[in-house]
Amino acid sequence: MTPLVDCQRVAFAYPARNPGAGAFAIRDLTFEVRAGETFGVIGPNASGKTTLVRLLSRVLAPSGGRILLEGQDVTRLDRAAVARQVAVVPQDIPHGFPHTVEELVLMGRFPRAPHRFFETEADRAASRRAMEAVGVLELRSALLDRLSGGERQRVMLARALAQEPRLLILDEPTAHLDLRYQAECAGLLRRLAGQRRLTIVLVSHDLGFAAELCDRLLLMAAGSPVRVGPPETVMDEGVLEAVYGCRVIVDKHPISRRPTVHLVYPTDTD
């Protein structure tokens, strides 16, 4: 079966004069994402996670190798065609964004008919379904700046769902969320993966969160893949200590039995 995403020896470097803000180069990256799975991308800062999101969503084109989306080279597809298949949930929306929640979610309908000036009733219905799916329908007239971090997160997820994509990419979904919203976010993603058969790529700093939700993980370091596989094989004490440069203990979550990582905090005698 053709994988949904097939990255073959992908390389990318930002031009020296114009480095991407906070994003780093990628070398010789090969992995695939299978239809229906939840795939986690983990790694320390500067490991190339953000660059990978930009490559998968065709914001950037690889300088070497190729990325196939259902067997088609993404660089040969136009942007709207990619956006009909791949939806990205960004970390946040710019401050002062002037539109309401519903207007934002309707923007997710753009790639479905880029040459249309106004959305149709069908677009409005799709947006309402997306808002319902993540429980933000009652917020539809609110402005984004008035919402909590968890609400903003769900609204951005609704916009991505309105695209009706095959692949959902989440860029650090828990970065701005406290524990309750992290739990909500995890529940929501499980539901989307389970009920909608959505393929999810989850880019996260939070190793426990990624291990809990993902079928397989990709561990990156300095733009190169270190390990790909189920959380149990990727979350190895020796490997993580080498990649992150600190002492860790890998344990099992008492309920899910998935791996969790404990940081060994330095004492004052170290």
Partner 1 sequence: MSEPAPASRARLAVLLGGLGLLVIVSALGALFIGSASVPPRDVLAVLTGRVRGVDQVVVLSLRLPRILAALLAGGALAVAGAGFQGLARNPLAEPSVLGVSSGAAFGVVVAQVFGLGGSLVEAVGLAACAFAGALVAGGAVYLIASRAGGLPVHTLLLAGVIVGIFFSSAITVLISVVDFDRLGGVVHWLLGNLGPVAPGSLAVFAALTAVGGWLVIGAARRLNLLALGEESAQQLGVDALGLKRRIFAGAALLTAAAVAFAGPIGFVGLIVPQSLRLLLGPDNRVVIPAALLGGGAFLLLADTVARNVIAPAELSVGVITAFCGTPFFIYLLRARAANPHL
Residues that bind partner 1 (CB under 8 A): 18, 21, 54, 57-59, 78-84, 86-88, 90, 93-100, 102-104, 107-108, 110-111, 114, 116-119, 124, 141, 143, 145, 163
CB of 153 to partner 1, least distance (A): 14
Among left, alpha and beta (phi > 0; psi -120 to 50; other), residue 164 is left
CB of 175 to partner 1, least distance (A): 16
> Whose Cβ is closer to partner 1: residue 107's or residue 186's?
107
CA separation for the pair 201, 214 (Å, rounded): 9
> Whose Cβ is closer to partner 1: residue 84's or residue 190's?
84
> Whose Cβ is closer to partner 1: residue 108's or residue 231's?
108
CA separation for the pair 207, 43 (Å, rounded): 9
* CB contact set of 266 (below 8 Å; sequence gap of 6+): none
The secondary structure of residue 48, as a DSSP letter, is S
CA separation for the pair 127, 68 (Å, rounded): 28
H or E segment to which residue 107 belongs = helix 101-107
Residue type, 201: V
> Whose Cβ is closer to partner 1: residue 104's or residue 226's?
104
CB of 144 to partner 1, least distance (A): 10
CB of 11 to partner 1, least distance (A): 21
The secondary structure of residue 113, as a DSSP letter, is S
Output helix, strand, coil percentages for the chain, rounded to the nearest 5.
35, 25, 40
CB of 32 to partner 1, least distance (A): 21
Reduced to 3 states (helix: H, G, I; strand: E, B; else coil), residue 95 is: coil
CB of 60 to partner 1, least distance (A): 10
